[in-house]
Amino acid sequence: MGPNNSGELGNTVNVRELIDNKKKSRNFTNITEFLMPKLLFLIATISILTTLGILLTLLTETIEFFRRVPFFTFFTGTVLKPLSQNPQFGVLPLLTGTIISSIIAMFVAIPIGLMTAIYLSEYATDKVRRALKPLLEVLAGIPTIVYGFFAFTFVTPILRNFIPGLEATNILSPGIVMGIMIIPMVASLSEDAMSSVPNSMREGALALGSTKLEVTRKVIIPAAISGIISSFVLGISRAIGETMIVTIASGSSKNFTFDITQSMQTMTAYIVEVTGGDAPAGSTIYYSLYAVAMTLFVFTFFMNLLARYISRRFREEY
């Protein structure tokens, strides 16, 4: 009886321990399931709260600027002389420099990036694709300040051999180099869009007698057009927000001109100049920094909205 009773008691204790452990595990699981959604929600809202904080800061200081400078004068003025005895705050010279440099960049990035994407998606072998992809990623990982010095010390001297009237600091050279910088973005996003087109569409077009080029031009590109256009719009948005290249290579002349051989200043370069210490806190030029930053924010915000609209409007689902 003794040994049997002892064994039964041991089994009872083990069962109770298992039940207690199970309850503890279940309690821990319940607590985890209760806390994790709240933690994940908090993490997900960090980016939203950060954006709201940035927007609130920009709005507060921008409103103060427009209390001193009329809204209409700011957006229609062609003269920007913030440090003169009679300061003038017209943003058109900065808008012109930003738009022209972005257009030059896209004239470089769109054809080269799209041709690169077509080659990687439709013509390159797996071995070649594995070799070229890392090279594009290296190009995308180069710091922008390196691109800036490359534009100023290498590209500009070469261009001056062909364009005698080109100034030492100009908008053409940084525009070209920004285009080179954006090529990986355009090529990668466009290649992803074309690679997502089902192979059955390629095979069907080839079976009907189409050449490789005809398949690419008439089937693949139209099917992937939403992703391709989105890559263009995002590339333009990236060019608009570029800072160091234009700061180093385009100069600080606030010229309202469409001559790409002259020195011009972009919105980002102006922000860098103002934050360099020449503007005392509370002055009009100090608040102009936020007005220009707000303009840039709105610019890039609508560019991103446009990219999302194009992506959804022309998306093909297979």
Are residues 174 and 246 in contact, defined by beta-carbon separation less than 8 angstroms?
yes
My answer on whether 264 and 143 are in the same domain is yes
Are residues 257 and 275 in contact, defined by beta-carbon separation less than 8 angstroms?
no
Are residues 231 and 189 in contact, defined by beta-carbon separation less than 8 angstroms?
yes
Are residues 245 and 147 in contact, defined by beta-carbon separation less than 8 angstroms?
yes
Domain that holds residue 64: 2-68
Tally the domains of the chain: 2
Is residue 74 included in any domain, yes or no? no
Domain boundary among 36, 68, 100: 68
My answer on whether 13 and 144 are in the same domain is no
Tally Cβ neighbours within 10 Å of residue 49: 10
3-state secondary structure of 180: helix
What six digits make up the tokens of 11? 């089994």
- Residue 81: which H helix or E strand, with range? strand 80-81
46 by Cβ neighbours in 10 Å (0-12 / 13-18 / 19+) ranks as: exposed
3-state secondary structure of 80: strand
Output the tens digit of pLDDT for each of the chain's 318 residues: 445 555 554 555 566 665 566 655 666 677 777 777 888 888 888 888 888 888 898 888 899 888 888 888 888 888 888 877 788 888 899 999 999 999 999 999 999 999 999 998 888 888 888 888 888 878 878 888 899 999 999 999 999 888 888 888 889 999 999 999 999 989 988 888 888 888 888 888 888 888 888 888 888 888 888 888 888 888 888 888 888 888 888 888 888 888 888 888 889 888 888 887 666 777 888 888 899 999 988 888 888 887 778 777 766 665
My answer on whether 291 and 214 are in the same domain is yes
